[in-house]
Amino acid sequence: MELVCPAGNLPSLKAAVDNGADAVYVGFKDDTNARHFAGLNFTGRTFEKAVRYAQDKGRKVFVAINTFPQPNGFERWKSAVDQAADYGVNALILADMGVMDYARERWPDLRLHLSVQASVTSAEGIRFYHENFGIKRVVLPRVLSVRQVAHTITESPVPVEVFGFGSLCVMVEGRCLLSSYATGRSPNTYGACSPASHVRWEETGDGTDTRLNGVLIDHYGPGEKAGYPTLCKGRFQVGDNTFYALEEPTSLNTLSILPELKKIGVSAIKVEGRQRSPAYVAQVTSVMRAAIDQCMQDPDGYQPEDQWMRKLADVSEGSQTTLGAYHRPWQ
């Protein structure tokens, strides 16, 4: 199982490589990728350095170009594809079929992976992208149970990558418009969910309100730690209850099911978090490296170590983790 880690800048990329990532995925500094945040991502010379640093150490670099261009911006996505190809990256991670069509035509030898943002959850869907664009790998959305992932792998024409750790999208990726409903900007159109430009933290008489474009996402009492107002992780009222109606602030953590993922034939484990710090990347990469190594050597005797779990909880949203949809009762 290949370990694929995130990097939003050069120090993060080095942290990923130095701590044992087999591949690092990155994006360019614009809306062509789904982590379009201020101060993040790569341009020209740094990008070249990043590719060289990883490849010199025998690691791969994947470039995420995984948002959906509209006609007036399509050229930008073509440039992103060309730039990645020019620098000799190992694969592109694409979501939009128009971009795939361009990449396939212009760079027929370039390896393409299907991004989670393509929102493909069945082997039939994977076959469409395999037959039409020759994709070599698919990243599955975080909506399938382990059994459903296993079934998809047996039917899929290409190897399957799944998410192993990081912030959890609870909606199927690539078809979630909650953010653009509230702010006008979605992962698909803009490359960001619940964008910082629309976030407001307000001290009130009795604590803190967090708002997204004016909409109250959560209220925290005095002494309660306020979290970032990601739309699907706020507290809302349904009926007589006020609760995390969609999902709690929590991160996905698959350490406890790594042997199962290996057994069903998962080819690569992805860590979420290009927007996170180099320290996060170092911490998560080293834990996942150790866990995967142990799982590969002795899947039957594998047990996640307490210190791994602690280290991952430290960098998780709300300091808690979940198996998400992999675990049926979560659904």
Partner 1 sequence: MLDTMKLSIGPIQYFWDRQRVLDFYQRVADSAVDIVYLGEVICSKRRLITAEDWVSIGTELRQSGKEVILSTLTLLEAASETAALKKLCKNESFMVEANDISAVQLLSTRGKSFVTGPSFNIYNGRSLKLLAAKGLKRWVLPVELGLETLRDLQAQRPEGVETEVFALGRLPLAYSARCYTARSHNLPKDDCQFKCIDYPDGRILETREDQEFLILNGTQTQSALTHQALTQLPELAALGVDVLRISPQRSGTLRIIDIFDSARNNQDSETLYEELLELLPHGVCNGYLVEQAGMDNGVQQAT
Which residues in this chain contact partner 1 in the complex, by CB under 8 A? Answer: 68-72, 74, 96-99, 101-102, 118-125, 127-129, 131-132, 142-145, 148, 151, 170-172, 174-178, 180-184, 186, 188-189, 213, 215-219, 232, 234-239, 241-242, 245-247, 325, 328-331
For residues 39 and 71, which CB has a smaller minimum distance to partner 1 in the complex?
Answer: 71
Give backbone dihedrals phi and psi of 85, rounded to 5 degrees, phi first: -65, -40
Q: How far is the CB of 20 from partner 1 (least distance, A)?
A: 31
Region of residue 59 (phi > 0: left; psi between -120 and 50: alpha; otherwise: beta): beta
- Calculate the alpha carbon distances from 190 to 43, 65, 146 in Å: 18, 12, 31
For residues 222 and 329, which CB has a smaller minimum distance to partner 1 in the complex?
Answer: 329
Q: How far is the CB of 96 from partner 1 (least distance, A)?
A: 6
- CB 250 within 8 Å of CB 12: no
For residues 72 and 297, which CB has a smaller minimum distance to partner 1 in the complex?
Answer: 72
Query: Can you tell me the distance from the alpha carbon of 161 to that of 21, in angstroms, rounded to the nearest whole number?
Result: 14
Query: CA torsion angle for 265, 12, 82, 104 (degrees, to 10)?
Result: 10
Helix or strand run (H / E) with residue 321: strand 321-322
Q: How far is the CB of 131 from partner 1 (least distance, A)?
A: 8
The dihedral built from the CA positions of residue 116, 119, 124 and 129, taken in this order, carries a sign that is negative
For residues 42 and 129, which CB has a smaller minimum distance to partner 1 in the complex?
Answer: 129
For residues 249 and 304, which CB has a smaller minimum distance to partner 1 in the complex?
Answer: 249
Neighbours of 101 (CB within 10 A): 13
Amino acid at 328: R
- CB 121 within 8 Å of CB 143: yes
- CB 142 within 8 Å of CB 134: no
Q: How far is the CB of 64 from partner 1 (least distance, A)?
A: 16
For residues 180 and 277, which CB has a smaller minimum distance to partner 1 in the complex?
Answer: 180
Query: Can you tell me the distance from the alpha carbon of 147 to that of 159, in angstroms, rounded to the nearest whole number?
Result: 16
For residues 51 and 81, which CB has a smaller minimum distance to partner 1 in the complex?
Answer: 81
Query: Can you tell me the distance from the alpha carbon of 188 to that of 109, in angstroms, rounded to the nearest whole number?
Result: 27
Q: How far is the CB of 246 from partner 1 (least distance, A)?
A: 6
Q: How far is the CB of 307 from partner 1 (least distance, A)?
A: 31
Query: Can you tell me the distance from the alpha carbon of 209 to that of 331, in angstroms, rounded to the nearest whole number?
Result: 29
Q: How far is the CB of 143 from partner 1 (least distance, A)?
A: 4
Q: How far is the CB of 330 from partner 1 (least distance, A)?
A: 7
How many CA atoms lie within 13 Å of 122's alpha carbon, on the beta-carbon side?
Answer: 2
How many CA atoms lie within 13 Å of 24's alpha carbon, on the beta-carbon side?
Answer: 35
For residues 59 and 142, which CB has a smaller minimum distance to partner 1 in the complex?
Answer: 142
